Each structure stands twice: as C-alpha cells, then as structure tokens.
Amino acid sequence: MKLPWQKPENPEHAAGSTKVELPQVTAESEAKSHAPESTRGTREGTKLPKGYTPPKGRPTPKRIEQEVKRGVVRDPAALTPAQQNQRDKELKKSMSKEEWKAYKKRQRDERRASNREMQAKMDAGDERYLMDRDKGEVRRYVRDWVDSRYFINNWVMPIALLILVLTFLVTFASPQVANIISFVSMAFMLTIIAEAFIIGRSANKAVRQKFPDTDETGFGLGMYAFSRATQPRKWRSPKPQVVAGSKVG
C-alpha cells in the first residue's frame, strides 16, 4: 500500500488517463500543411471534379477581345469613319501644328506596322488572316500542288508585257515584224488557254485522290489553281511553302 505523498515507481503509469499526447510535427506534415489546396486534396485522396483547373490569378480574356487583337473581326467599340473624322477635327483644333504633324505621323507608323504584321502572317499561311478563298486544307493542298510544278503560265505576265512593248515599238517602224509579233502573241495565248484546261483538270484530279470525300471541286477550284499558276512565284500570296520541283503527295 502506498501513501498519497509517496512517488510512484513508474511515472508513465502515474498520469493514467489524464496524460495527453501531443501530435508530433514532422517535416512531411509541415510540407503538407503549406501545400496548395488542390495538391492537398489530391494527396488526401479527395477526387477533384473533371476539368478542374487551378485559378490563374487573372480573368480569362473574352473571345471577341482575342479576335479583335488578331484582326479577325472589327472592334465593335471602334469609331466609325465619320466619328473618327470628327474626333480628328477636334484634336486638330486642340493641338499645335507640330503636335498635329507628330500625331498623324504616329498614326501612319502604327497603321503601316499593323499592315506589315498582317501581311507577314497572311504570307505565312496563317488561317486566321487568309481571305475566304484561301482557307481550308483543300486550298492549301492546291497551292502546294501548283507551287511544286513548272508551267508556261508562270511566265504569262512578263511575256505579255514584252509582247506589248515590242508591238508598240515596231508597229510604225516595221509592219512585217509587227505581223510576226502578232502571230507569236496569238500562238502564246492559245497555249496559255490550253494549259489552263490542263491545270484545272489535273488540280481537280489530284484533289479527288487526296480528299475523296470533299465536294470542293469543279470549275472554281480549277480557276483557283490557274490564277495562282499565272502569278510569278515571288508575287504569290500566301507565299509558296514548297520548293519548285518537289513532290507533293
């Protein structure tokens, strides 16, 4: 029997049920407490909803704002030409002559820079900046098909200009030479027309083989291929993406 003032032999059992064990703080639990909410939920076994993304810290830009920035659509908040003219008149009254000149020069520089950027993206074949007639994988394939081949039509513009100059120079000096030039020009025109039919039919045939399910064939597609073939290679837009003489499958 032990008296109340006597110390117990085993201090661990003395406290009995009154002993409170404090949780041990480990490096793992501390890192877990400082982890992001989405990470903690994953580690603790909480299943996040499908399509969940952590907050970006900034509002998502609207689609119309992105399209206006790319130049796809016109800014609905932009001024009309009449409103812009009225605004320019008011600004001109409030500015000195030097300030007005600097303002107009800055406008021209910004407009030229924007046009150069849009033209560069159009030449690169960016679908967002192409005209409607150039959009789509079928039209892209036709451009590559034309750019990879040599045609007499590739020289139609320089040869036509040369014939025109020669005809003007020799009409009064030598009628006989003028008649020869006229005969050559007629033969050249017939050759161009014959090759135009060949280009149109061949382009349609290649498209039907490449895209058997497409309905974008016919006269319009043939004219598209022919019109591109008549342009000098450096003047084409979008710019050629394949080397002349290469094989386009």
What is the extent of the structural domain holding 143?
132-235
CA distance 116 to 121: 9
Return the pLDDT at 191.
Answer: 94
CB 152 within 8 A of CB 193: no
Q: Do 144 and 227 fall within a single domain?
A: yes
Return the pLDDT at 229.
Answer: 94
Q: Does 6 map to a domain?
A: no
Q: Does 197 map to a domain?
A: yes
Q: Do 211 and 146 fall within a single domain?
A: yes
Q: Do 149 and 185 fall within a single domain?
A: yes
pLDDT band at 140 (very low <50, low <70, confident <90, very high): very high
Return the pLDDT at 194.
Answer: 96
Q: Do 97 and 186 fall within a single domain?
A: no
Stronger pLDDT, 46 or 140, i.e. the higher one: 140
Amino acid in the structure at residue 50: K
Return the pLDDT at 217.
Answer: 87
79: alpha, beta or left? (left if phi > 0; alpha if psi -120 to 50):
beta
Average pLDDT, the chain: 78
CB 196 within 8 A of CB 166: no
Q: Do 93 and 185 fall within a single domain?
A: no
Arithmetic mean of pLDDT, 111-135: 88
Arithmetic mean of pLDDT, 97-121: 89
Task: Please enumerate in sequence order all residues whose Cβ is within 8 A of that of 21, keeping only pairs 6 or more positions apart, or say none.
Answer: none
Q: Does residue 179 carry a pLDDT above 60?
A: yes
Q: Do 138 and 117 fall within a single domain?
A: no
Residue with tokens 């002559």: 97
Return the pLDDT at 16.
Answer: 46
CB 210 within 8 A of CB 217: no
Arithmetic mean of pLDDT, 195-207: 95
Q: Does 40 map to a domain?
A: no
CA distance 115 to 109: 10
Q: Do 109 and 172 fall within a single domain?
A: no
Stronger pLDDT, 191 or 88, i.e. the higher one: 191
Return the pLDDT at 2.
Answer: 53
Q: Does 204 map to a domain?
A: yes
Q: Do 117 and 195 fall within a single domain?
A: no
pLDDT band at 122 (very low <50, low <70, confident <90, very high): confident
Q: Do 148 and 210 fall within a single domain?
A: yes
Q: Does 165 map to a domain?
A: yes
Q: Do 115 and 137 fall within a single domain?
A: no
pLDDT tens by residue, 217-241: 899 999 999 999 999 898 998 999 9
pLDDT tens by residue, 46-103: 666 666 666 666 677 666 666 666 655 555 556 677 878 888 888 888 888 888 888 8
Return the pLDDT at 41.
Answer: 45
Give the range with max mean pLDDT: 14-23, 34-43, 155-164.
155-164
Stronger pLDDT, 7 or 138, i.e. the higher one: 138
Q: Does 247 map to a domain?
A: no
Q: Do 137 and 230 fall within a single domain?
A: yes
Arithmetic mean of pLDDT, 148-169: 89
Q: Do 91 and 182 fall within a single domain?
A: no
CA distance 166 to 181: 8
- The helix (run of H) or strand (run of E) holding residue 156 is helix 156-170
Structure tokens at 24: 């041990």
Return the pLDDT at 25.
Answer: 46
Q: Which of 198, 50, 101, 33 is nearest to 206 (CA)?
A: 198
Q: Does 42 map to a domain?
A: no
DSSP string, 55-121: --SSPPPPHHHHHHHHTSS--TTSPPHHHHHHHHHHHHHHS-HHHHHHHHHHHHHHHHHHHHHHHHH
CB 92 within 8 A of CB 100: yes
Q: Does 244 map to a domain?
A: no
Tally of domains in the chain: 2
